[in-house]
Each structure stands twice: as structure tokens, then as C-alpha cells.
């Protein structure tokens, strides 16, 4: 029997050529694998077919966090280029960040990102994270929105493009703060969400800003020795009420992706959710591989 705490247990081979580098033009045309948990039957569908697998009255939970242009490229006083990845906001003008390559910043110093924006970067802490304080403190975010780059995941082997500002984002993203997209929701479009609403599906939202806790590599040999970083999340009152009502009525609550699922899992006491761990029948819709037509 495999040791589920051993990191090696989770290793698998995913050929690089099967990882799509661009999304399909139509979000809903991505592939969908459906497993019938009662019969064990497997069906290969397109994502739009998901409408027929969600019933009226059931609750669909979406993470409305919005990806920010968190990658910044700047230069030291001597002209050396460095990359700064914003991780989470600490104060009005200060962020926790990662610097690459870190060895190029051996002392705290100013980094210039544009003639209108610079930041003072501290020395790293024990996790390799630094703090950056932007100047000017007022209006700096508008500049970042213009010059920042979308933080595409490392398995996307290309630089970000203008289209990624829209496509590496769910259509319902409203709350800025994530440094990686909650990818399971990328395949919904407005038309598909309208179909679900017309069918009587209740769509509710949570917010979890994806940070280091989601994408930082596991370096320990056992996953129980891995240090998890905290992430901001919240469950609105109307979402908690819908979940509680569904549980009471023995209706499914469907969490789209791991970010929505773990927000519900950790929020009972804070958000007024009742017996989420034991009473919630959950289906986590996790679309992992969205392939291009050429594959």
C-alpha cells in the first residue's frame, strides 16, 4: 500500500507536448472527463456538457478572485535586470515578493521598473521572500496595471501576451489579488453560466486569493513536513446561507476547483457554515488539461 505522505507517491509523467500553450478560442470547447461514481463508467465530453450534469436547486461555488499582473521586470542601478513577483499586499504601498535571480540582489536596494515607478527591495527572509515598498506610494498600482505581466504558470513555456490579460482570467473574476488563476473555472463563459442559472442552478461566490500556498514547490520528502503559506479567503453571507440550505435539503454543493473547495472547508466558524466537513456532498470540478485542437 502506498504511503500517502510520501511525496514520491504523487509523481507521474505528463508529456510536455500534451500541455497546451494557448487556450482554445471557445472556453466551453475544452475537454471534460466525466466519472460516474456509482457505475465507474468514464465518458469523454466537452466542457459545455457540464450543464446536463448539474441539477436545478444545486449550488455551484465559484472563486471570484482576479489575477493581477504580478510579474515586474526592473533594473538595478548598474543596469542588471531582475524579475520581481508580487505575492501579497502588506500595506498601502508595500508587498511581499520573490526576486529572480535572487543572487543578483545581495543587499537591499532600489529597483527601477519604469521612469515613473521604482521599488525598494529588502533582504530575503528564511523562506526567500522579500518586501518591496513602491515609490510613488500614491498611484503606483495604475502604473503596475500598465507595465506588469501576467504570471503564467511555469508549464506554459512562453512569455505572456496581451490576450492573456483576458484569457488567463475567469469571466466572473472581480476581486483583484491572485498571483495565479483558479484554473478550474477558466472554462466557464457567460453563456454557459446563463444556461445554468436558467436551469435553476444557484451560483454563489467565494474569494480565495491564490498565493504561495498554491504554487510553491514541495521540497520535503514527506508532504506533512511541507510548510504551507496562508492565503486570504472569505465566504459571503449569501453563499453560506445557500450552502446551508442545500445541506439541509440534501442537495449537492459543487465546488469549482480546489480553491473554492478549501475555502468552504476552512470557513465554517467564520462564515456561519454548518457541518461542512461532514454534511457537505461535494464534487470538485478540476479541469487539469485543456488541449488545443491540434493535439
Position 232 scores a pLDDT of 86
Smallest CA-to-CA distance from 59 within 238, 184, 263 is with: 238
pLDDT, average across residues 70-74 = 97
Q: What is the pLDDT of residues 183-222, one digit of tens each?
A: 999 999 999 999 999 999 999 999 999 987 776 778 888 9
> What's the whole-model pTM score?
0.86
Q: How would CATH label the architecture of 71-147?
A: Beta Barrel (2.40)
pLDDT of residue 41: 95
pLDDT score recorded for residue 273: 62
Cα dihedral 78, 95, 205, 53 sign: positive
Parse the chain into domains and list their residue ranges. Answer: 7-67+165-279, 71-147
Return the DSSP state at 61. E
CATH for 7-67+165-279 (3.40.1780.10, 3.10.105.10, 3.40.50.720, 3.30.2320.50): 3.40.1780.10
Same-fold call for 7-67+165-279 versus 71-147: no
Tell me how far apart the alpha carbons of residues 292 and 67 are, in angstroms, rounded to a whole number: 23
pLDDT of residue 54: 94
Amino acid at each position: 500500500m502506498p504511503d500517502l505522505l510520501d511525496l514520491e507517491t504523487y509523481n507521474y509523467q505528463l508529456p510536455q507536448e500534451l500541455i497546451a500553450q494557448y487556450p482554445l478560442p471557445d472556453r466551453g470547447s475544452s475537454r471534460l472527463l466525466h466519472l460516474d461514481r456509482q457505475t465507474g463508467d468514464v465518458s469523454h465530453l466537452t466542457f459545455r456538457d457540464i450543464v446536463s450534469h448539474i441539477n436545478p436547486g444545486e449550488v455551484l461555488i465559484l472563486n471570484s478572485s482576479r489575477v493581477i499582473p504580478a510579474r515586474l521586470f526592473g533594473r538595478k542601478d548598474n543596469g542588471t535586470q531582475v524579475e520581481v513577483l508580487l505575492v501579497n499586499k502588506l500595506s498601502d504601498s508595500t508587498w511581499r515578493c520573490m526576486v529572480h535571480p535572487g543572487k543578483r540582489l545581495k543587499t537591499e536596494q532600489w529597483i527601477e521598473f519604469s521612469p515613473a515607478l521604482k521599488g525598494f527591495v529588502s533582504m530575503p527572509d528564511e523562506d526567500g521572500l522579500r518586501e518591496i515598498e513602491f515609490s510613488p506610494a500614491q498611484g503606483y498600482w495604475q502604473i503596475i496595471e500598465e507595465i506588469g505581466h501576467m504570471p503564467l504558470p511555469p508549464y506554459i513555456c512562453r512569455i505572456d501576451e496581451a490576450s492573456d490579460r483576458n484569457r488567463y482570467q475567469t469571466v466572473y473574476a472581480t476581486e483583484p489579488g491572485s498571483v495565479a488563476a483558479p484554473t478550474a473555472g477558466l472554462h466557464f463563459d457567460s453563456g454557459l453560466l446563463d444556461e445554468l442559472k436558467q436551469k435553476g442552478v444557484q451560483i454563489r461566490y467565494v474569494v480565495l486569493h491564490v498565493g504561495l500556498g498554491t504554487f510553491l514547490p514541495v521540497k520535503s520528502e514527506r508532504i506533512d513536513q511541507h510548510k504551507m503559506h496562508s492565503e486570504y479567503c472569505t465566504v459571503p453571507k449569501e453563499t453560506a446561507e445557500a450552502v446551508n440550505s442545500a445541506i439541509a435539503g440534501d442537495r449537492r454543493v459543487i465546488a469549482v476547483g480546489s480553491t473554492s473547495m478549501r475555502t468552504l472547508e476552512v470557513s465554517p466558524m467564520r462564515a456561519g457554515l454548518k457541518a461542512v466537513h461532514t454534511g457537505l456532498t461535494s464534487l470538485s470540478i478540476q479541469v487539469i488539461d485543456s488541449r488545443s485542437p491540434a493535439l
